[in-house]
Amino acid sequence: MAKPTLAVVGATGAVGTVMCELLSARKNVWGEIRLLASARSAGRKVRCRGEELTVQELTAEAFDGVDVAMFDVPDEVSAQWGPAAVARGAVVVDNSGAFRLDRDVPLVVPEINPEQVRNRPRGIIANANCTTLAMIVAVAPLHREYGLRELVLASYQAVSGAGQIGVDTLYDQLSKIAGDRVLGSRPGNVRQAVGDDLGPFPAPMALNVVPWAGSLADGGWSTEELKLRNESRKILGLPDLKVSATCVRVPVVTAHSVAVHAVFGAEVDAEGAREALRNAPGVILVDDPAAGEFPMPIDAVGTDPSWVGRIRRSVDDPRALDFFVTGDNLRKGAALNTAQIAELLAAEFSSR
């Protein structure tokens, strides 16, 4: 039985680059791999799975013979080309926001709801938002144990969540403020030193935190905050889950963190929660404050699991847990989860 053909759309972006690394490192389940990108990137050579592949231009014909197409592109590109790929016979795994809340598109996290992969009337499966993904692999086992009712979330999001330009912007700003040791101590000085080039952010990122991610939605909410609510409900199958989130960008390169306050139907205890997480897939438990061990971006970056720690039962609520989770937003937050979904599909082909 020939292995299925895989297309990676957006192969030269921040997430696409991680995707090629993953394809090189993970157990190989694919036959031909095709790398697709904009005309601007076509012709570029990219190393993938031990081969040097030439990036092809994204066209409808490029999907001929493709069994699975992973999309790592902006919403509007997925919206246009996802259905085109389906029309040519591919199953699409989309990492953008274009289809996530569509009733006929499952939102899959393989550790949580892998069976939803088969529920794809449109031929499209969606990958969740990066912040949702970092957090949900730790929340799901606790839901299974105690019955989740409510989440109150505050995020600490890395700049690579805004793409390579976000990373370049932070590094540029850090070099502008380097060497000046009084900048952070007076209003206006960081803004002056950073100047007008804010990159994809509404304010300077160096020596700052910016309580904004995504675009403005109703009621003053950001789209990022509403994604945390709507996607968590869908992934966990909890349409009435109460969720409040405040999303904040911080001067970290890669790995999003979330401070989680989770309220359950049953009484909880910290040691029981640790045990559930110790045994949970896709999660590493790092929880020994006395030894200085907590989940942090500089340790989680470049690794596959979400790191969870600081697990405490709320002092005033025996049904609530407080904890901290961090995960590489380009890996589990994007490329890895997408690759894992694609591998579920590849297994379908093998079983035919």
Out of 261, 272, 275, 343, the residue judged to bind a second copy by CB under 8 A: 261
- Quick check: 55 and 34 in contact, CB under 8 A? no
Kindly tell me which residue out of 1, 185, 351, 352 binds a second copy, with binding defined by CB under 8 A: 185
Q: What is the identity of the amino acid at 6?
A: L
Task: State which amino acid sits at residue 328.
Answer: D
Between 117 and 205, whose beta carbon lies closer to a second copy? 205
Degrees, nearest 5: CA angle 213-217-223: 35
143 belongs to the catalytic site: no
Q: Among 27-35, 116-124, 130-138, 243-251, which window interacts with a second copy (CB under 8 A)?
A: 243-251
Assess contact for 79 and 54: CB atoms under 8 A: no
Question: Per rule CB under 8 A, is residue 175 in the interface with a second copy?
Answer: yes
Binding to a second copy by residue 275, rule CB under 8 A? no
Among 31, 88, 200, 221, binds a second copy (CB under 8 A): 221
Tell whether residue 279 is a contact of a second copy (CB under 8 A).
Answer: no
Alpha carbons 83 and 88: distance in angstroms, whole number: 9
**Rounded CA gap, 12 and 37, in Å?**
7
DSSP type of residue 321: E
Structure tokens at 8: 């990676």
Cβ-based burial of 346 (10 A; exposed 0-12, middle 13-18, buried ≥19): buried
Residue 94 vs 287, nearer CB to a second copy: 287
> What's at 78, amino acid-wise?
S
* Contact pattern for a second copy over residues 301 through 320, marking x by CB under 8 A: xxx-----xxxxxxxxx--x
CB-count exposure of residue 181 (10 Å: 0-12, 13-18, 19+):
exposed
For the bound state, the minimum distance from the C-beta of residue 108 to a second copy, rounded and expressed in Å, comes to 24
239 binds a second copy (CB under 8 A): no
State which of residues 82, 97, 106, 204 lies at the interface with a second copy (CB under 8 A): 204
Q: How far is the CB of 230 from a second copy (least distance, A)?
A: 10
Catalytic option among 20, 48, 130, 247: 130
**Cβ proximity of 308 and 277 under 8 Å:** yes
Q: How many CB atoms lie within 10 A of CB 109?
A: 23
Indicate if 261 belongs to the active site.
no
Binding mask 318-347 for a second copy (x = CB under 8 A): --x-xxx-----------------------
Q: Does 209 bind a second copy (CB under 8 A)?
A: yes
275, 299, 343, 348: residue in contact with a second copy (rule CB under 8 A)? 299
Closest by Cα among 83, 106, 98, 151 to 320: 151
Stretch that binds a second copy, among 54-62, 68-76, 80-88, 212-220 (CB under 8 A): 212-220
Which residues are part of the catalytic machinery?
130, 256
Per the annotation, where are the binding residues for NADP(+)?
12-15, 40-41, 160-161, 329
